[in-house]
Structure 1
Amino acid sequence: MAIQTTEHMPFEQQVLGVCLNHPYRFAQISSFINAGDFTSIEHRAIHDILADAHANKAEFTLSLLVDRLHGTVAPDYISWLYNNFTIDEDVECLARDLRGYRNKRDILNAASEVQKRVNRATADELINLPSESLKVFDAVRLSNEIHSGSVKNATQSVDRYLTKFSEKKHSGGRGLQLGIPEFDDKTLGLHSTDLIIVGARPSMGKTVFGLQCVLPALKFTTGKIIIASLEMPVEQLIERLICCIAKIDYSKLREGKLTSGDAASFRQAGEWLSSFGDRLLIEDCEEKGYLEYRDFETWVRSEASKGEISLVLVDYLQLFRRTGIPGDTDSAKLGNISMGLKALAKLTNAPVVSLAQLNRSLEQRVDKRPIMSDLRESGNIEQDADVILFLYRDTVYNPDTEFPELAEIIIGKQRAGQKGTIKTAFKGHHMHFAPWIENGNLTMTECPPLNTYQ
């Protein structure tokens, strides 16, 4: 008879109760929890419906659960779970405790089986019993690895890779192209499931770079583009996008000095941008002045359940608010957010580009170009990110520099490629980075067609 323990039941109930109230939380635990981690038939049935909704990106409702569990789980018990665990909280730690109790049960059962074999064994059989006992515990270990997702089905893994290989073959292995040839060649573009961090001090062009990611996503993909504008009002963001599209000097727009030709181009570019309808989604945080990370995560997950997402842009990382464990440092909270953004990149199968403010301490150095250590106080960003880019413009610190338009995109980390520095021309008034010509001159004909709306 299998050994059962009872201390796990409150964990089972709390994990399921929180997920019933806040279904998006299930994504935190889906990779390492399965029905076998729950001891009661009722809890396993509830888990399976949550897992099915998550796998199919389907909307989950309490009425759906009651209907599907008719005759299996009493509606009163479902109501009790729902009404007693209403607080939205991180369930990952609870689920890992639950997983630990599953391991405990498996080990106790394995030990019980070994004891039975010892009691039944003859003198000759006892000679080989130690090695046979180890096989029992190895079976428990392997079972736990498979259930936690660390052991993959080879056929599924190969099929998944071949599908991706076929997609890469047709695209040349390239992701979203930004129209800066050297950058696009070195990075092969922005890839789905990647978390891309773009770090810089103020006035270096972070928002401009972010918008340069948005335009090709609008023009060359079919999914939604989600923007969390934590610092800049939506109206300013739209103005900058339109100026980039129409190649209009943004300073002239702000000063009200547009020519009649500029005004016509501005209207035409605005109409082109408006034609994308519901594909461009922007979270306006101007009224509140902040955005709770969990609200943002819920929003993205909801949009992902409705259809394809091509790009997620965060401007910028440190402005998220996150309610953490009492006593958590800012570094720990940022680490949780960067880990969450990487999970969103996987969930949406889209690149997630997050702008990040760098510590002002770098300005005390003679060479003020950012380096990886300038990010290390910001949680686990360095660990979670697939690509880390830094922006540097010498003219910000040295106004008399020989090439005031010169901007550097420094690849500080690239999980699937090389590091390096790319020279670009920062066209701040026109809101974009352009290819750099070594003598400092740039001809607009070299700008990619993504910045036109014809």
Structure 2
Amino acid sequence: MDRITPHNIEAEQSVLGSVFVDQGAMKTLVDKLNLDDFYKNQHKVIFAAMIELFQDDIDIDYTTLSNKLDSKDLLNDAGGIDYILGLINYVPSIVNLVNYINIVKDKSITRRIMEACRVIIEKGFETDNAIDFVDSSEKIIFDIAKERRTTDFVRIGEVAEQVISKTESTKDNQGKITGLDTGFEVLNEYILGLQPSELMIIAARPSMGKSAFALNIATNVAKMKDKPYVAFFSLEMGSDQLVSRMLAAESRVHGNKIRTGHLSNTEWRQLSFAQEILSKLNIVFDDSGTVKINDLRQKCRKLKQEKRLDLVVVDYLQLLSGSNPGVNRVQEVSEISRTLKEMAREMKIPVIALSQLSRNVERRDDRKPVMADLRDSGSIEQDADIILFLYRDDYYNPKTTDRPNQVDIYISKNRQGATNTDGFRLSFNKPCSYFENLHGSAVDEDLDLD
């Protein structure tokens, strides 16, 4: 039996006929549909004429539409005057216009995906590079998926009601955390936990402890009561190295002892207990060397569809590559940071990305990091919701420092809250890759709300 190409003639007729019932319907149609969304050629011809009349600010009725088609010698192609007159009979209710539009759009997208699949099959016979073939195929489908129906404008009243409802649901929260718990009291005071749809950048020069800090946050989040799922993408270290650091942090056993196996009986017991705790956490690692940002997003989409994703950590941003290898590095990093932000919004999860800083830091007397030190692109500063800088005074001034085994944390950007450019401190046990709240390191009473 012959299979019919997906379409819905009645929905197309209802969409076109609605213009004769309500002139305002045309504004909605122009925003949501284009000519290729219509399956029947007659309807494409009619809609093209309607668009011209709309752009010329001419009211659309039977007379003006038939005259426009006749002047272009297209009246017969549109089905004739009787067909145009009959369109109004296919409008059961103007109230359902959006539903008619969605039916037409969905059928159009289905047809386009079917055509894209045919193109992909043809390319499959010609390709010699499987990786490039997968990337190009994914891009074709993703470009179509981006055109899926979008939401309408939302009235301020509806949004205000949602905000008030959220405020009421969190008013009794004694810990003041509305997102995922980082495990660090002062940081939570500023950001209220890791929030859905937000991109956090953790930036520092090498040896400041940013990977260890990210691992600590991931572990603390995974230890929450409802056992959130964490995906950790490591482009620099293997999963065994990461887990070795996590075991050191959890057991408080020197990392070098874990690597060499020279442990006392007590340390073996500590390590075994740490293994038992970590094994119960929902943390997954990807150390496959995924370097393309689109590959990373696709893997996250799969986890999200399986309802196994609440937080993403990327270590680190500059090791990713964009989708267009021919562009310069600044444009590439701009695409990467923007994609990470889009991913956070699309999946409604927090995303943490680690970032290197430029060597300019080393050339200054004051090595405290600033926004301008972010490496490769200013777009990181633009796309991030939160930017944290890490600085260790005992690394640069080991003999004169007054704060050994401590890391200064600077909140240089916080889109939804206060910044802290003076910094707060955390205790850092470097051999055990362990960060800890430092008593007496409190949030300033006078917060910078800029």
Please report the TM-score for the alignment, with normalisation by the length of structure 1: 0.65
Distance in 1 (alpha carbons) for counterparts of 2:106 and 2:172? 37
Distance in 1 (alpha carbons) for counterparts of 2:114 and 2:143? 24
Aligned residues between the structures: 334
| Matched-pair contact (CA < 8 Å) for 1:217–1:310 | no
Matched, 1:194 2:167: no
Q: Deviations over 1:381-406 (max 9, x none)?
A: 11110000000001211121232212
| Matched-pair contact (CA < 8 Å) for 1:304–1:348 | yes
How much does 1:40 deviate?
3.1
- Relative distance call for 1:79 and 1:216 in structure 2 (3 A) is closer
How much does 1:163 deviate?
4.6
SS state of the match for residue 342, structure 2? helix
| Matched-pair contact (CA < 8 Å) for 1:426–1:434 | yes
Distance in 2 (alpha carbons) for counterparts of 1:225 and 1:366? 39
| Matched-pair contact (CA < 8 Å) for 1:309–1:349 | no
- Relative distance call for 1:282 and 1:187 in structure 2 (3 A) is same
How much does 1:346 deviate?
1.6
Distance in 1 (alpha carbons) for counterparts of 2:365 and 2:397? 12
Distance in 1 (alpha carbons) for counterparts of 2:180 and 2:114? 50
Matched, 1:165 2:167: yes
Partner of 1:263: 268
| Residues 40-439 of structure 1 aligned to structure 2 (within 5 Å) | 40-42=37-39, 47-48=105-106, 80=118, 83=121, 87-88=136-137, 151-154=153-156, 156-171=158-173, 172-220=176-224, 221-276=226-281, 279-285=282-288, 289=289, 291-324=291-324, 326=326, 328-375=327-374, 377-400=376-399, 401-420=401-420, 421-437=423-439
Paired-residue identity, %: 29
Letter in 2 for 1:185: E
Partner of 2:33: 36
| Matched-pair contact (CA < 8 Å) for 1:181–1:435 | yes
| Matched-pair contact (CA < 8 Å) for 1:332–1:379 | no
Distance in 1 (alpha carbons) for counterparts of 2:215 and 2:429? 13
Q: Which runs of 5+ in 1 are unaligned?
A: 1-32, 52-64, 66-72, 100-146, 440-454
How much does 1:176 deviate?
2.3
Q: With a CA cutoff of 8 Å and minimum separation of 6, indicate the structure with the bigger relative contact order.
A: 1
Distance in 2 (alpha carbons) for counterparts of 1:88 and 1:77? 12
Q: Deviations over 1:182-239 (max 9, x none)?
A: 2221222221211000000000001111011111221114332101011011001011
How much does 1:92 deviate?
12
Q: Which runs of 5+ in 2 are unaligned?
A: 1-29, 41-101, 124-132, 442-450
Please report the TM-score for the alignment, with normalisation by the length of structure 2: 0.66
Distance in 2 (alpha carbons) for counterparts of 1:281 and 1:235? 12
- Relative distance call for 1:230 and 1:248 in structure 2 (3 A) is same
How much does 1:82 deviate?
5.3
| Matched-pair contact (CA < 8 Å) for 1:333–1:379 | no
| Matched-pair contact (CA < 8 Å) for 1:308–1:348 | no
Q: Deviations over 1:110-166 (max 9, x none)?
A: xxxxxxxxxxxxxxxxxxxxxxxxxxxxxxxxxxxxx87583244653454345334
How much does 1:177 deviate?
2.6
SS state of the match for residue 291, structure 1? coil
Letter in 2 for 1:390: F
Distance in 2 (alpha carbons) for counterparts of 1:343 and 1:245? 33
Distance in 1 (alpha carbons) for counterparts of 2:436 and 2:307? 32
SS state of the match for residue 241, structure 1? helix
SS state of the match for residue 309, structure 1? coil
Distance in 1 (alpha carbons) for counterparts of 2:118 and 2:277? 52
Distance in 2 (alpha carbons) for counterparts of 1:45 and 1:236? 51
| Matched-pair contact (CA < 8 Å) for 1:224–1:311 | yes
